[in-house]
Structure 1
């Protein structure tokens, strides 16, 4: 059974989130959660939330007979896609203006049972 969770329009750059996603891809869920707990990055709690949601979705999809612990699931896929970019203006000297890009991303996590 597979579980999938999508977290869209997250205010983090996709490039920075992919660094953390590469740490947990292919790991067991309990290992992935421990790695994320000890990783001091902004993307860590966002990925933790998505992995826990995907695990819960897999349990619900499996029905009442699904009593699998977190160690029974594997983080099979983590996709970090770019979302829309909010553009802001920063005033500079002599009437100039610099553009600030506030990037967003879409996080998609799929967990599957290793049975």
Structure 2
């Protein structure tokens, strides 16, 4: 209960401080953020970072696919479990005969 009251008090303080700052301050912050986001230096940096991330992603994908090709994952998932293999071979999982004795 104490945490709920602390959270509610924090909300109230935030609301009051936000209301005092008013819409003019909010609009000023929005204008500043837009100006920064639209600046050529930020745009150029974002393009460079995006290209590096894309290149790194392709490199990681290439290395992972070399070590574990997609076909090996498909083969791994297609392999039967020990119980399925025992059932297919006609023996039980413990090596005994696979005849069902009906004792369940």
Q: Same fold (TM over 0.5)?
A: no
Q: Which has the higher contact order (CA 8 A, sep 6+)?
A: 1
Is the helix fraction higher in 1 or 2?
A: 2
Larger Rg over CA atoms? 2
* TM-score normalized with structure 1 length: 0.22
